[in-house]
Amino acid sequence: MSLFLKYEDMWDMDLGGEPSKKEIPHWFGNLAWVVVGGLCKLLFRYRVDNRQKLRAFQNAEGAIVICNHTSFFDVVFMYLAARPSQWVRLMGRDSLFDNAGGLLGQILSRVGAFPVKRDTADMTSIKRAVRMLKRQELVGILPEGTRRGKSNRVPEIHAGVAMIARMAKVPILPMTVRGVEKIKNKGERVHFPKVTVDYGDPILLADFDFLPKEDRLEACSWYALRECFALFYQVPAAEVDMKALFPDSRDFAPVFAEHALPHHTSEELAEAARAKAAAKASRSERGGETKDA
């Protein structure tokens, strides 16, 4: 049992997908879940709603889990809510991994996180995420890229989420974490509000084929993030004012007001993935029998 491993080795190891002998050792992640999860349960009395929408993908297919970003605690609860039976491979900005003399990078990598270079088309990270997803792992992404209201950056929607979904051929699962935005505001003391994690229904990129090809990725990312805010505000998606939330981004609300997308459930998509895998295995087996004959 190694105490320290190279970052790059852990980023390219497996975690929580198809059975593998090259997985990141679980002992640290399990310890972190017990300690951090216990503290968060005590301090924030957190609960998880609709977790079955995440659980359905277990042993069926990978999925991209996305969340709106209001606090550093978003990623903590993204991780905790999936445990103990699932792991979320969190995509985080690369500068985090060098903090505390590299200790934070060791901790993040141990629990399955991996870096992405902000404001660039980081193909190394994108391909790494695709490989994880094809192995039935979960990848967690914050499409806003920065915490809302906590910096001078204008919020924007990054279409990389949809691009990864297209390359890996997996669904996008919206979620939110309510209450974390109240934990610490500038100039105020730390608060301990109740926190709720909530999952929505999955989204398929294929459902956006009615749009021009050049708009599909942006529209899919916009739509998926709107679902996150609908969960956050606990309102119908059509009532979320995305123009106010993302003033510099294109507003697709009129498009989806005229063209409603089909509704999917996690169970439906997971069953379809299992059926597809079974059919593929059957064809492979028949092919082997034919060669033997």
Q: 73, 85, 72, 67: which is closest to 44 by C-alpha?
A: 73
pLDDT, mean of residues 135-160: 82
Q: What is the pLDDT of residue 170?
A: 98
The C-alpha atoms of residue 45 and residue 138 are separated, in whole angstroms, by 25
Q: What is the pLDDT of residues 30-58, one digit of tens each?
A: 999 999 999 999 999 999 999 999 999 99
Return phi, psi of residue 109, to 5°. Answer: -65, -35
Q: 141, 147, 111: which is closest to 126 by C-alpha?
A: 141
Q: How many CA atoms lie within 13 Å of 69's alpha carbon, on the beta-carbon side?
A: 24
Domains of the chain: 7-292 (3.40.1130)
Q: What is the pLDDT of residues 123-134, one digit of tens each?
A: 999 999 999 999
Percent of the chain whose pLDDT exceeds 90: 76
Q: Is 30 helix (H, G, I), strand (E, B) or coil?
A: helix
Q: What is the pLDDT of residue 292?
A: 58
Q: Is 117 helix (H, G, I), strand (E, B) or coil?
A: coil
Name the amino acid, one letter, at 168.
Answer: A
Q: Is 81 helix (H, G, I), strand (E, B) or coil?
A: helix
Alpha-carbon dihedral 161, 162, 164, 167, rounded to 10 degrees: 180
Answer whether residue 1 shows pLDDT above 60: no
